[in-house]
Amino acid sequence: MTRSGSGSLPRYILQRVLLVIPMIWVILTLVFVVLRVAPGDPVSAAMGGKLNDEALDQRREALGFNEPLLAQYWDYLSSVARFDFGTTFSDNQQVLHVVRDNGGATLSLTIVSFLIALLIGIPLGMIAGRYRDSVPDAFIRLFGILTYAAPIFFVGFLLQAYVAGPLGLPTSGMASPITVFSVEPKTHILLIDVFLSGDGAAIEDVLKHLILPSITLGLLICGVFIRLVRVNILQTMHADYVEAAEARGISRGKVTRRHAFRNALVPVITVVGLQFALLLGGAVLTESTFNWPGLGEKLVDYINDRDYGAVQGIITIFAIAVVLISLLVDIVNALIDPRVRY
């Protein structure tokens, strides 16, 4: 194969970038179709128990819901292409503003949760791999399975019921009302804005609110990291270079620390990006449990209200985020491991 063949990194990146467009189109189309196939519309969801059929129809007409589906579909795609996501029906907000205001909350939650997952998952995975089939290994494996399998709302409830009280931690929202009111929204990400404000009490307040939701969400994916790191450690420990190092008289502990751990983490990087989608899914449930004003919670509300415009806008942005992160992971993968380009 020549350098200009399929093994070329620029060509690989170009292919992946071009694939993003049909992927997003498919997702947009699916969102549009699913919302129209599902029974109901925003008018009947809001006014169905109040107005007669004639009045409901008048309102549907006014909102363009009686337009042919193809016309609605074209409007939707062309608006998205112009980055115009319209206005929500149910609460009169610009969809882009919803994403801006609530996306920051979701981003803060997912990033901190991710860090917590790494902080818990990687060390535990290393210990489990290093001391295979020992009592700690058994406990850590069990812990990993439990955190991955336990429903988020259940973990959240346990933390709210048994941890929040003794530690004096809040159980809802991302800050107390006075903090939300007083901190100037410079970036629309409260976690950043509060540090920019330099208000110590507000910083403490925001961090306290962040603890339980981020632990709840972080636990969900730390189980994945535990199992992944453990398996990679085990594989690495049996690699030829490890055995060779041991044969040269280097202690097992030193070999593990200096060689096995580092190499075992390489595959984890490739999985990290993929966990982001799982995190976004988990964020929906975490936000509902902790009344966290993020995009996930808004999405659930808008789905219940059959708010087409809002749901389409938010899912589109979710989808674009996941697709772009997948793209980034693929590119990093290709850089680290040339085999994936072929």
Partner 1 sequence: MKRKLFALLGAGTLAVSLAACGDDSGGGGGTEGGSGESWILGTTDTVTAMDPAGSYDLGSSTLDYSVYQTLVTVPAGSNDIVGDAAEECTYDDPQTLTCTLKEGLKFSNGNELTSSDVKYSFERSIAIQDPNGAAIYLLGSITDTDKKGVVTLNEGAIETPDDTTVIFHLDQPDTTFQYVLTYPGAGAIVDEETFPAEEKLADEEVVGSGPYKLSQYKAGEQAVLELNEEYTGDKTGGAAQIFIQYFSEASALKLAVENGEVDVAWRSLSPTDITDLEGNDELTVATGEGAEIRYWVWRADSGVGKDVAVRQAAAQVFDREAIAQNAYDGTVDPLYSIVPPGYAGQKDSFQETYGDPDPAAAEQILKDAGVKTPVPLTVGWTPTHYGPNAEDEANEVERQLEESGLFDVTLKSAEWEQYQTVYKEGAYDLWMLGWFPDYPDADTYLSPFMVDGGFFQNGYSNPEANELVDAEQGTSDQAEREEAIGQLQDLAATDVPFIPSWVGKNIAIYGEGMEGIEDTLDPSFIFRFWMVTKNG
C-alpha 308/C-alpha 310 separation (Å) is: 6
Min CB(204)–partner 1 separation in Å: 5
Nearer to partner 1, 118 or 329 (CB): 118
Min CB(25)–partner 1 separation in Å: 28
Contact between 187 and partner 1 by CB under 8 A: the answer reads: no
Sign of the Cα pseudo-torsion (151, 161, 139, 233, in order): positive
Name every residue whose Cβ is closer than 8 Å to that of residue 201 and which is 6 or more positions away in sequence.
179
Nearer to partner 1, 310 or 322 (CB): 310
The Cβ of residue 4 has, within 10 Å, a number of other Cβ atoms equal to 9
Name every residue whose Cβ is closer than 8 Å to that of residue 258 and which is 6 or more positions away in sequence.
none
C-alpha 86/C-alpha 75 separation (Å) is: 11
Min CB(313)–partner 1 separation in Å: 14
Instruction: Choose, by CB under 8 A, the member of 69, 204, 252, 342 that binds partner 1.
Output: 204
Closest to 292 measured CA to CA, from 199, 142, 190, 204: 190
Instruction: Choose, by CB under 8 A, the member of 20, 96, 150, 207 that binds partner 1.
Output: 207
Min CB(162)–partner 1 separation in Å: 12
User: Site residues for partner 1, window 245-284 (CB under 8 A)?
Assistant: 262, 265
Contact between 111 and partner 1 by CB under 8 A: the answer reads: no
C-alpha 297/C-alpha 288 separation (Å) is: 5
Min CB(45)–partner 1 separation in Å: 7
Nearer to partner 1, 41 or 330 (CB): 41
Contact between 289 and partner 1 by CB under 8 A: the answer reads: yes
Min CB(244)–partner 1 separation in Å: 23
Nearer to partner 1, 31 or 122 (CB): 122
Q: Which residues pair with 87 in a beta bridge?
A: 94
Q: What angle do CA 282, 288, 289 make, to 5 degrees?
A: 90
Nearer to partner 1, 4 or 92 (CB): 92
Residue 87, phi then psi, degrees to nearest 5:
-120, 140
Residue 73: C-alpha distances to residues 30, 64, 79 (Å): 11, 12, 10
The Cβ of residue 55 has, within 10 Å, a number of other Cβ atoms equal to 12
User: Site residues for partner 1, window 6-65 (CB under 8 A)?
Assistant: 38-41, 43-55, 57-63
Long-range contacts formed by 128-135: CB under 8 A, 24+ apart:
128/226, 128/229, 128/230, 128/233, 129/229, 129/230, 129/231, 129/232, 129/233, 129/234, 129/237, 129/264, 130/233, 130/237, 130/256, 132/234
Contact between 299 and partner 1 by CB under 8 A: the answer reads: no
User: Site residues for partner 1, window 212-251 (CB under 8 A)?
Assistant: none
Min CB(119)–partner 1 separation in Å: 5
Instruction: Choose, by CB under 8 A, the member of 141, 227, 298, 341 that binds partner 1.
Output: 298
Q: Which stretch binds partner 1 (CB under 8 A): 71-79, 133-141, 202-210, 219-227?
A: 202-210
Contact between 306 and partner 1 by CB under 8 A: the answer reads: yes
Sketch the per residue contact string, 135 through 174, with partner 1: x for CB under 8 A, - otherwise: -------------------------x---xx-xxxxxxx-
Min CB(113)–partner 1 separation in Å: 12
What are the tokens at 71?
């016309």
Closest to 116 measured CA to CA, from 223, 204, 201, 203: 223
